[in-house]
Amino acid sequence: MKGNIISKFVYFWIFILGGIFVAWILGFLEDDKRFLIFIIAVALVYVVFQVARSMGMRKRGESQVAQGSSLNRGSKPTGAKKNSKKRR
């Protein structure tokens, strides 16, 4: 998730809806109490995963600039030139 707060919000709800769908297919959501417990558990799993991921990225020293966000978009890749000699 390299995006902004809107993308994090959208990904959270996609994760929640996917979890609800899987639980519904498998028959885990029989009553309202189980549904509420399941929603809280899935939300906690998502938050713990995102915090661990964020801490891991910080520990490795990655940033949005290193991942190629706004500062590196317009630059051309620099590689070895084939002919570096000037011709006369």
51-79 residue pLDDT tens? 888 888 777 776 555 555 555 555 555 65
Q: Residue 84: inside a domain, yes or no?
A: no
Q: Residue 47: inside a domain, yes or no?
A: yes
pTM for the complete prediction? 0.59
Quote the domain boundaries for residue 60: 5-67
Angle at 81 between CA 78 and CA 82, to 5 degrees: 150
Distances, alpha carbon 23 to alpha carbons 14, 35, 51, 73, 81, in Å:
14, 9, 24, 41, 56
Q: Which residue has the higher pLDDT, 83 or 70?
A: 83
If one counts the domains in the chain, the total is 1
